[in-house]
Structure 1
Amino acid sequence: MNPVVAIIGSAEADRAYTPPVRDPEGAAEAAAALGAELAIQGCHIVVYSSGPEYLERDVVRGYVGSGRAAPGSILVRGRYGKDVGFEEVHRNPALFSVVPESTDDWEVAYYRSLLTADGLLLVGGGRSTFIAGLIGLSRRIAIAPVAAFGGGAEKVWHRLSGEREVATEEEVALLSRPWQPGAAQPVVAALLAQVRRVSEREQASRVAERTASRRTMAGLVTALVLLLLTLATVPLAYAAPTGGWQTIAVLVAAPLLASVWGAIVRNAYDGNGNWLRAAALGSAAGVIAFLLFVAAQLSTNPDLLAGDKARQLVFFVLAIGFIGGFTSEVVYGKLRDQDVTQTSVLPPAGGR
């Protein structure tokens, strides 16, 4: 995949820039050298105007003059019927891919294309160059502001120096050096290193998203299975012999399954991928809530588990187990405050 680099900048001798543009003729030659190096490195470029006031013309001159330009590798995003007067178009039309903008407002094509470029190369320039650099910094894409010639590119370099998101310290220092013969190669190399870094980060982010999506799907399937198992404890409780150990076993298994089910549902709701931790904490909270509930019932009815009413408790413990697992952090908070222990139906000492 060929990186797409947007070319932005100007260096007019009779125009006021802030900060001032230094050595306009040197900036034009630097732009041509950068264009040649971009072609050698296999980059595609985006240019906006063939006007003499912009450095795109010099970049295209060097890009085509390198002899390494590929067909369709120069994307021209200009106004319809304008901005396409590059001399090289007539000699090498196959190298150009012209996408005219229907409106006469050049900013539309200019700013829209920045959202699709892999990197920005800035040399000189005024306010629009500075804004383009800020857009690149905010999007955390590869950006190479050549500070040596001043202008908006130098202002962007100052921002890049203080807000390094993609460029390394060495690359930022490289972009501040005075221009000299052979400087185009390390500048383009620094830009492409940033492009690769951004691509690797995006790839890692996509892999992480796919992994998280698979974990979420697995968690939801597990929650569905646990739901079915939890509901199955209701008929099992009524099928078990009255007062037998089977009823007690079902009564214990029901809140345990329900609490794990609730914890995994909460985990999926929060978007957390640590299912095992959620299941462990949720099951513990659900079982604690279940034990406290049963203990409170036995304090007033000691023979509860021996009679037919034990199986009726399954409906209550299912709800308690699910709520305990779903709100495990609340349960643990109450335990730390010793609040959850007030479950007895008896009034406190001295009360009525």
Structure 2
Amino acid sequence: MHHELFKYELIDNEDWAIASFLSLAKADGMMILGGGQSTLIAGLVGVGYRVPTVSLAGFGGRAQEIWALLRSSDNKLATPEELSLMAQPGWNADSARRCVGTLLNQRKRKQQGVDPTLAREHRRVIAIAALALSFFVALLVAIAEYSRGENLSRMLSYVLFCAPALAGAGGSLVRIVFDWTQAAKRLASQGPPVISAALGAVAGGVSGLFFILAQKIAIGDLQTKQAIILLPFVLIVGLVAGLTLDKVFPKLLSLDVVKTEALEGKPSVLEAGTNK
């Protein structure tokens, strides 16, 4: 044993097993090879405390049970490739290096609060969010081009329609920091900030779009001066939408944009007014 690898602490208990098992919670890593009942208990303690663990199931013993537990855990630190390495039978000149690398990688993930399974899922969701955001921005640009009329410059129209989305993205990021300061959510328990920013951009963009179109319906084609006056207001609308992201999307999802009265055999509002 190298003295730099272990830290000795005095515990007021004569039972070595209790001291040994409790110390595993502070371990930087565990390597399990074969073993019996005490090895199983140690492995269970390590898995429970999310200690970086390499359980060499290929050598049999209780290490196989710990490996199976690592594989089925919902909060695992090891990747499928690393679990496959642990299950390989036999030993070669490169095995020690790969096992140590696995322990170091798990320790790094634990420090960063990263779950390998969730990390892959996050990458997939980020790609979908980026694609959806690209389509949404393209839609905003198309609406801005269609709605600008003859009196509004193209650049000002784009800024007016797209600025709320940018403000919403900023608001959603501020909300992450606010939740953390209020201890409402740990950063590690939240999704990637880029996903929050994408959702905030959509919430801010849609809210700003409703606001701008309402003004256009009321006053007609916007003049340059009117658009400049509206710009701070749409920025505020977008920012608030991003800050209140958890409230905006339920309202948007609850909107009934398709009238189904005719399909259900119910009179529509127009028909009801005509019959009076």
TM-score range for the pair, normalised by the shorter chain length? 0.3 to 0.5
Q: Which structure carries more helix by proportion? A: 2
Question: Which TM-score applies when normalising by structure 1?
Answer: 0.40
Question: Which TM-score applies when normalising by structure 2?
Answer: 0.48
